[in-house]
Structure 1
């Protein structure tokens, strides 16, 4: 894989990957007869120089741009409704999501809501709501700026209820981007903490997808290659970033999102309640919990862990070595080992355990997880 030029592949959507890919955006819009994009991003990205440069390039081609950035770092339903109001008021013809998981989730949910105006959570995939996604959706383009969630290649958005904080999944093949402009240069200026947390999110996606109980050999292969790329790149991308390490992380992030159509597991069910209850960064929540969740899964799945250890090129090819590797990697990229270091207190454990049990991810874990398991995992990680 070369890192200094743009190339294209299609899996499952069209992906323009490489340094400088973002420069193709204005010409792509014009060639598709689009002139009034609504850009959905987060408040931090909206103020950064690279984002202002993207807007400038679009406006230089006489494209009318409207920016919506009024979103929470863990997106809620009201964010989506506000964005749809702006769409209505400004007569847009396309949606461009630019950012990490939060921005891309809100962008995708707005794409759904434009022509589906019943209560947003009627479309929750967990209650079969995808069958109601029947109308056309606006032209949708994604531009990732972090290497973590891989939302740019996804078909779903995770949005929380403003009051209950419970996360809902909006899903439909219609919600896949028409094209992804994946430019690793846009990730070069990420601060080390965000690089580390989002990178561990990508690793969690790949590892949990590989372990998930549903048979899907294609996803297994993608997940193992994603793990291999992260092994080579995450520490360097965090501490001494260069184009190669950033490119590998961006690719591995997309691979994790493709692989986890197979399912996720216990780590995500431990992490999601931290985001909804305590507003913890999703990647950080996964990063702290992954060694404990992986340790929980070893018994009965030794062969899967042997294959992950081999992919990581560890001396000992077993689950214990994988867990040790995860603790070591977290230390190298300055991720804490314990939940108490990121604001979790003993009095949160019962509520967290309830939320974890209600979470959508753990039914795909290779082994069942009950409420007591979640409680003990939180206590161990505390």
Structure 2
């Protein structure tokens, strides 16, 4: 068995320092890069927690001058990024360290873009070819995940919403990949059961949707299947009786899902994104509720792939129906709801949600085409 108390390094897609205690390497690494004044980007909740305060204290004790920006919304918007850029400039920072879950890491990445790229932020939207304008350098950028869910620490994109319409935009460039990731499972130890469950289902959704996404990418497929296996063997333990091994496996699976979904995502994420932007639903929870319905939609014609995923999930004699049933049962065992109505979704929201889902950027990679009417019926089924 892997000793997760030993710090391991692997380089894919960037340098990852993984293991319990890895966060202790942050200060020495900054100093070897001759960096003195990092901007630590996080959200208000994490900024108030003891482990974050200890990170700040440890950096200060090593002669560094960390500045903290915690103006990160649960579903981040453009103004979060602009204010973070101002904090970087006003404090004359020389590096950016994103610490947190997907929201904090996305904002940190977008701030890194903002520092030397001064067009309107959404001119860089990848969906309108904005990546062509990302030609300058970015500040030295480090990521530190504190949840096992989005895997944003190894990503090259940031999803940021417009303040007024809540429309999601995607900023993407290889320049936005972190120089190094300090992935310390100990930073996830104090997560409450709900957050562990919701973010864990987010990671499972990434791996499953990546495996099903259309296109040919055998490396992503292999990584996704291994991620599914790790989650199947550790998620319930991490939620109900967490230990070092289950927390470590979940963080690895989260990292793997984010690498695998370079192949693409699909219908589940296009269902989930509007729930977050319109109703401020936690992204992981939105994915958790929508996952069984999206998988059921995709099952016909992909029976072989569902059998393989079922084997990775540990289902005996798996088939498409058993995989979908397993996902409903898993949510129930984790204490997560099965219906969107539990999160305040009402019939009058359905038309707007269907419009937003149809406009979402994930479902073009779904293995089956998804129409607006399909989205409407899926929302109604999940309601």
Q: TM-score, normalised by structure 2?
A: 0.99
The residue matched to 2:317 in structure 1 has which SS? coil
Residue 56 (structure 1) shift: 0.5
Question: Residues 314-352 of structure 1: CA distance to partner in whole angstroms, max 9, x if unpaired?
Answer: 113211111011011101110001001111111100100
Q: Over residues 141-197 of structure 1, what are the superposed CA-to-partner deviations in whole Å (9 max), with x where a residue is unaligned? A: 000000000000000000001111110110000000000000000000000010000
Please name the residue that 2:174 is paired with. 173
Question: Is 1:36 matched with 2:17?
Answer: no
Q: Greater shift after overlay, 1-10 or 60-69?
A: 1-10
Residue 247 of structure 1, CA deviation: 0.2
> Any unmatched runs of 5+ in structure 2?
none
2:346 is the counterpart of 1:345:
yes
1:150 maps to 151
- Equivalence for 1:68: 69
Hey, what's the Cα distance between the residues in 2 that align with 1:130 and 1:326?
37
Runs of 4+ in 1 over 2 A off after TM superposition: none
Q: Distance in 2 between matches of 1:222 and 1:338?
A: 30
SS of equivalent to 1:177: coil
Q: Residue in 2 aligned with 1:183?
A: 184
Q: By how many angstroms is 1:74 displaced?
A: 0.2
Is 1:113 aligned with 2:114?
A: yes
In the alignment, the residues of structure 2 paired with residue 337 and residue 38 of structure 1 have an alpha-carbon distance, to the nearest angstrom, of: 39
**How many Å separate the matches in 1 of 2:167 and 2:261?**
21
Which position in structure 2 is the counterpart of 1:161? Answer: 162
Q: What is the correspondence of 1:92-241 to structure 2 with a 5 Å cutoff?
A: 92-241=93-242
In the aligned structure 2, how far is the partner of 1:70 from the partner of 1:312? 38
CA deviation profile, 1:195-246 (whole Å, cap 9, x unmatched)? 0000000000000000000210000000000000000010110111001000
State how far apart, in whole Å, the 2-side matches of 1:148 and 1:309 are. 21
The match for 1:3 is 4
Deviations 1:22-56 (A, max 9, x none): 00111000011000100000000000000000001
CA distance in 2, matches of 1:82, 1:200: 31
1:360 alignment partner in structure 2: 361
Return the alpha-carbon distance in structure 2 between the equivalents of residues 54 and 5 of structure 1.
Answer: 20
1:249-280 Cα deviation digits (max 9, x unpaired): 00000000000000000000000000000000
Match of 1:262, SS state, is coil
Partner Cα distance (1:291, 1:2) in 2: 34
| TM-score of the two chains, using structure 1 as the length reference | 0.99
SS of the residue corresponding to residue 165 of structure 2 reads coil
Question: Partners in 2 of 1:351 and 1:140 — Cα distance?
Answer: 37
Partner of 1:17 in structure 2?
18
Count residues in correspondence.
Answer: 382
Cα distance, 1:311 vs structure 2 = 1.2
**C-alpha separation in 1, matches of 2:221 and 2:24:** 33
Quote the residue 1:273 is aligned against: 274
**CA separation in 2, counterparts of 1:218 and 1:128?**
27
Structure 2 residue aligned with 1:378: 379
Determine the C-alpha separation between the residues in 2 that align with 1:251 and 1:127: 33
Q: Quote the offset at 1:3 in angstroms.
A: 1.4
Of 4-13 and 281-290, deviating more is 4-13
Cα distance in 2 for residues equivalent to 1:327 and 1:5: 36
**CA offset at residue 313 of structure 1?**
2.0
Name 1:335's counterpart in structure 2.
Answer: 336
SS at match of 2:261: helix
Alpha-carbon deviations, 1:109-128, whole Å to 9, x = none? 00000000100001011111
Give, in whole Å, the separation in 1 of the partners of 2:249 and 2:344. Answer: 31
**Which residue does the alignment assign to 1:26?**
27
Distance in structure 2 (CA, Å) of the matches to 1:335 and 1:277: 20
C-alpha distance in 1, partners of 2:118/2:293?
41
In the alignment, the residues of structure 1 paired with residue 91 and residue 19 of structure 2 have an alpha-carbon distance, to the nearest angstrom, of 32
How far is the alpha carbon of 1:362 from its aligned partner? 0.3
